[in-house]
Amino acid sequence: MIPTSELELVEAIKSTSEPVRIVGGGTRQGLGNTVKARESISTSALTGITLLEPAALTLVVRAGTPLADVQKALDLENQQLPFEPMDHRALLGSAGASTIGGVVACNISGPRRISAGACRDSLIGVRFVDGSGNVVKNGGRVMKNVTGYDLVKLMAGSYGTLGVMTELSFKLQPKPAEVATIKIHDVDDVTGVAALSRALGSPNDVTGTALVDGTALIRVEGLPKSVKYRTKALKDIFASQNVSVENDPVKSNGIWAAVGDVSELAGCRGDIWRISVKPTDGPVLVAKLRAAGIDLKVHYDWGGGLIYLRVNDDLNLRDHLAGFAGHATLIRGTGAGAIAMPPQNALVAKLETGLRAKFDPRGILNTGIMG
Amino acid sequence: MQMPIPNAAVLDKKQHIVHRLLTVLPKEAVISDPSQTRAYECDALTAYRCSPMLAVLPSDTEQVSDVLRICFEEGVPVVPRGSGTSLAGGALPTADCVILGVAKLNDVLETDYDNRLIRVQSGRTNLSVSGAVEEDGFFYAPDPSSQLACAIAGNIGMNSGGAHCLKYGVTTNNLLGVTMVMMNGDVVEIGGSHLDAGGLDLLGVICGSEGQLGVVTEATLRILHKPVAARPVLIAFDENEVAGACVADIIKAGVLPVAIEFMDRLCIETSENFAKAGYPDAEALLIVEVEGSEIEIEEQLEKIIAIAERHNPVELRQSNSEEESAKIWLGRKSAFGAIGQISDYMCLDGTIPVSELPFVLRRIGEIGEKFGLRVGNVFHAGDGNMHPLILFDANKPGDLERCEEMGAEILRLCVEVGGCLTGEHGVGVEKRDLMFDQYNAEDIEAQLHVKDVFDPKWLLNAAKVFPLTATETRRNAS
Ligand SMILES: Cc1cc2nc3c(=O)[nH]c(=O)nc-3n(C[C@H](O)[C@H](O)[C@H](O)COP(=O)(O)OP(=O)(O)OC[C@H]3O[C@@H](n4cnc5c(N)ncnc54)[C@H](O)[C@@H]3O)c2cc1C
């Protein structure tokens, strides 16, 4: 089904008696547990920007709008989505054009998440059709809003299980005039993450902190003199290490796009896991996995707290996470039969099941995708 | 203002409930004498008062859990309370309720600079969270003006903001995790030292739920390194519209100051008489603050001043020292107190799209004339969160009602232009009955679903946030 309006979407949901898969651009279909549904609902005809107000840093857009179209429109105003959503196509081997609704449904955030927050932090309003066909709006188009419960946050990252989103509002960010990347070469996991912690704990407003292939990467963005000043300040902090600076903005942007898209693991064979832990736990966990003889390739973002791991497919990584607070998601592969999405503890699971039963009493929306 | 009829069956077994509570709490933590429960009769919305049946002051998560389990079993309504500074009546008791105060839960449980987080018990005051990490150069960013008194518990309850949220976000953007006790006594851990939930974003919906979903006992908060320095510039205009246009231009230009504050003539004059900050004679005044090292501050101010000058300000005052900066802020910080010196006032809290500022300011003036009440405007202009202050005389019969009616009209105006009823103070009882002006029945029903799941018996702070008519069947079912 490809509804061309919210009203048609309501009709589609009301008239179906079967589980449906919700499809945006299809680039992130591989995320989440397998959905058993014969029917699907596509948001691809619910497109268009409804409001773009640069002086208020506000964007309102229909959920099926391609992300590329959104970014093109923002480019013209020299503004951007603060949370820098990653492109999953290379990693998942998928094709198509990502939609803004898909980005929100999976709460997709990139390297700037450490300073600007996740997708859910920039999302300020939502309209959706729930599993009973009710049209619900929450939040609005202003950045400060505490009127009633914040269902906006709840919808971000709900993978379509609470409703099909039709319209989304975002708080935008001016594009930085300059960007530079400080590279600390030849670091191991422990010293690399320690360097990222130091950068994040300094007053230099860093907006990216990754550790890829033995190089710690630190990004600063902003007005020209400010970027120059902070680049020097950070270079000074790491003066005793092997440091270089990438001042070319095009190259810097390339570096961070590759970080966000986890490019260096994309072509690797094997399973890909995504793990969120306390940043300083990152290298400890990886050392433990290595000590257990696990063959792996690792990519750290978010100061060490976001880990992408390539491992062989005969392994359920969750078996090795005891003692670490956080969660692991199987992004690609079989994980020795592991379910993709992290299981929740009993009390949280009960709340989640309760919420789904309220918003989708027939259990028809992307059934089972989150567990 | 209407409140539900107190549950007689609950009132009748007060002694029994006291007795049970005393099995899990020390004697001094159970307050039942009416002369003492009166201390909890209101929060900072003092127009409404009602003594609770009881107040309890547990000192850890386990005690909170015991108290809630007992109240759940006995069907007793519970109103969670932090420091009681809510301006919306969020912590206002009902006559049949137990006030559950978290003031005794005020320890720092963990500070972790490598991971930039602090874990505290929820009764700790906002300012003392920053205080705990200040010497090491860190701070907790959300800074409500009430930060000396208000607790993290209430900040989470209301998703509170502060003067610097244009850059750092509000509570929800700085909250990493909570320990929360459900109404039946179950203790849930949500989030923590890692980023983003594995499943649904329950933390997101808990923050700002006004004590209706559970009692938060511990919180993990993001801390940041303090900026090297901060400096404000004061820009005065002879027209509100021009000040509004200047705000829009600053934002569009790609400089993101940490704060853009706005004051209108009434607030400028009143605070000037009171605080003598040396403010100019003007219709509107902006205080724009930027942060960073000396070079960065100068670079940003240069841009801001260039923009401001295109709007022909009547005065543009830069600061050359800490003292001058403090003086620029003095009038703004004294504004509420100064207005309080000359009159009773009611502080509104609607948000509007920044582009609507000039129109809304003009309309507010007209509405004031219609009701015959004076109104001052002082607010966070960068994000459109307005705080119109309506002046009235509490001793004059009918004045409070007129003021409330006028407040409602202004808040409806905020909604009409694309904004909302409350930007940071919360709905509480104050804006409860306006919810249908912003949301339709389906929107409200979706929110009630959440309450149904977290608190199926509707015992937690149930008379707030939603119009009583919308929740009546649910409240009476329990
Ligand atoms: C002079 C003044 C200035 C102010 N300035 C600002 C400002 O700049 N920005 C701003 O946002 N607000 C401001 N406020 C409003 C108020 O301070 C905030 O709403 C604050 O967060 C309330 O905190 P509290 O601890 O006093 O909470 P309370 O008033 O005790 O409670 C507030 C709400 O939280 C709930 N709650 C309390 N404890 C818990 C808990 N443990 N678990 C779950 N829910 C709980 C309550 O039930 C209630 O609904 C101001 C108030 C005053 C009086």
Q: Which DSSP string corresponds to B104-162? A: T---EEEEETTTTEEEEETTSBHHHHHHHHGGGTEE-----TTTTT-BHHHHHHHT---
How crowded is residue B226: how many other Cβ atoms within 10 Å of its Cβ?
16
Tokens of B370: 């219609």
| Kind and range of the H or E run holding B67 | helix B61-74
155-184 in chain A: CB under 8 A from chain B = 156-158, 162, 173-177
Q: What is the pTM of this model?
A: 0.97
> DSSP letters of A221-258?
EESHHHHHHHHHHHHHHTTTS-EEEE--HHHHHHHHHH
Confidence of residue B478 (pLDDT cuts 50, 70, 90): low
User: CA-to-CA distance for B61 and B41, rounded, in angstroms?
Assistant: 24
**Ligand 1 atom nearest residue B217's Cα:** 41
User: CA-to-CA distance for B175 and B221, rounded, in angstroms?
Assistant: 5
Whether the Cβ atoms of residue A185 and residue A242 lie closer than 8 Å to each other = yes
**pLDDT(B221) > 80:** yes
Of all residues in chain A, the one with the smallest CA distance to B382 is A56
- Average pLDDT for residues B464-477, to the nearest whole number? 96
User: CA-to-CA distance for A280 and A324, rounded, in angstroms?
Assistant: 11
- CA B470 to centroid of ligand 1, rounded, Å: 24
Does B305 touch chain A if contact means CB atoms closer than 8 Å?
no
| Kind and range of the H or E run holding B189 | strand B187-191
Does A53 touch chain B if contact means CB atoms closer than 8 Å?
yes
Whether the Cβ atoms of residue B434 and residue B419 lie closer than 8 Å to each other = no
249-268 in chain A: CB under 8 A from chain B = none
pLDDT for res B379:
87
Task: Describe chain A by its helix, strand, coil percentages, rounded to 5.
Answer: 35, 25, 40
Q: What is the mean pLDDT of chain A?
A: 97
Q: Do A56 and B355 touch (CB under 8 A)?
A: yes
Does A153 touch chain B if contact means CB atoms closer than 8 Å?
yes
- Residue boundaries of the structural domains of chain B: 8-103, 229-416
**pLDDT(B134) > 90:** yes
79-138 in chain A: CB under 8 A from chain B = 107, 109, 113, 117-118, 120-121, 130, 134-138
Per-position b or e across B85-117, b if 16+ CB within 10 A of its CB: bbbbbbbbbbbbbbbbbbbebbeeeebbbbbbb
Q: What backbone phi and psi angles, to 5 degrees, belong to B47? A: -65, -25
Does A223 touch chain B if contact means CB atoms closer than 8 Å?
yes
Confidence of residue B197 (pLDDT cuts 50, 70, 90): confident
Between the CA of residue A151 and those of A370, B83, B208, B215, what are the distances in Å?
18, 26, 10, 19
Per-position b or e across A49-62, b if 16+ CB within 10 A of its CB: eeebbbbbbbbbbb
pLDDT for res B1:
84
- CA B130 to centroid of ligand 1, rounded, Å: 17
User: CA-to-CA distance for B471 and B476, rounded, in angstroms?
Assistant: 9
CATH class of the domain at B8-103: alpha beta
Interval B383-425: pLDDT, tens: 999 999 999 999 999 999 999 999 999 999 999 999 999 999 9
Interval A262-315: pLDDT, tens: 999 999 999 999 999 999 999 999 999 999 999 999 999 999 999 999 999 889
CA angle (A19 as vertex; A15, A23 as ends), nearest 5 = 95
**Ligand 1 atom nearest residue B170's Cα:** 11
Contacts of A277 in chain B (CB under 8 A): 193-194
**pLDDT(B153) > 80:** yes
Tokens of B102: 């978290």
pLDDT for res B358:
86
Contacts of A233 in chain B (CB under 8 A): 293
pLDDT for res A141:
96
Sorted by sequence, the CB contacts under 8 Å of residue B304 that are 6+ apart come out as B233, B250, B255, B257, B288, B290
Does B439 touch chain A if contact means CB atoms closer than 8 Å?
yes
pLDDT for res A212:
98
Interval B435-466: pLDDT, tens: 999 999 999 999 999 999 999 999 999 999 99
A·B CB contacts under 8 A: 263
What domains, with CATH codes, occur in chain A?
Answer: 6-174 (3.30.465.10), 178-260 (3.30.70.2190), 263-337 (3.30.70.1800)
CATH class of the domain at B229-416: alpha beta
Interval A10-40: pLDDT, tens: 999 999 989 999 999 999 999 999 998 999 9
**pLDDT(B71) > 80:** yes
Q: Do B351 and A358 touch (CB under 8 A)?
A: no
User: CA-to-CA distance for B189 and B214, rounded, in angstroms?
Assistant: 12
Q: Around A6, how many Cα atoms within 13 Å sit in the side-chain half-sphere? A: 17
Whether the Cβ atoms of residue A305 and residue A277 lie closer than 8 Å to each other = yes
pLDDT for res B284:
96
User: CA-to-CA distance for A241 and A184, rounded, in angstroms?
Assistant: 7
Tokens of B210: 């006004």
Beta strands in chain A (DSSP E): 20-23, 39-42, 49-53, 58-62, 79-80, 123-129, 135-139, 164-171, 173-174, 178-184, 208-212, 215-222, 243-246, 271-277, 296-301, 306-311, 326-332
Q: What is the mean pLDDT of chain B?
A: 96
**pLDDT(B316) > 80:** yes
- CA A288 to centroid of ligand 1, rounded, Å: 44
Q: Tell me which residue of B286, B265, B272 sits closest to B374, measured CA to CA.
A: B265
% of residues, chain B, pLDDT over 90: 92
- Average pLDDT for residues B339-362, to the nearest whole number? 92
Residues with CB under 6 A from ligand 1: B 43-44, 79-87, 90-91, 102, 122, 144-146, 150-151, 153-155, 157-158, 160-162, 210-211, 215-216, 424-426, 461
**pLDDT(A1) > 80:** yes
Interval B226-284: pLDDT, tens: 999 999 999 999 998 899 899 989 988 888 899 999 999 999 999 999 999 999 999 99
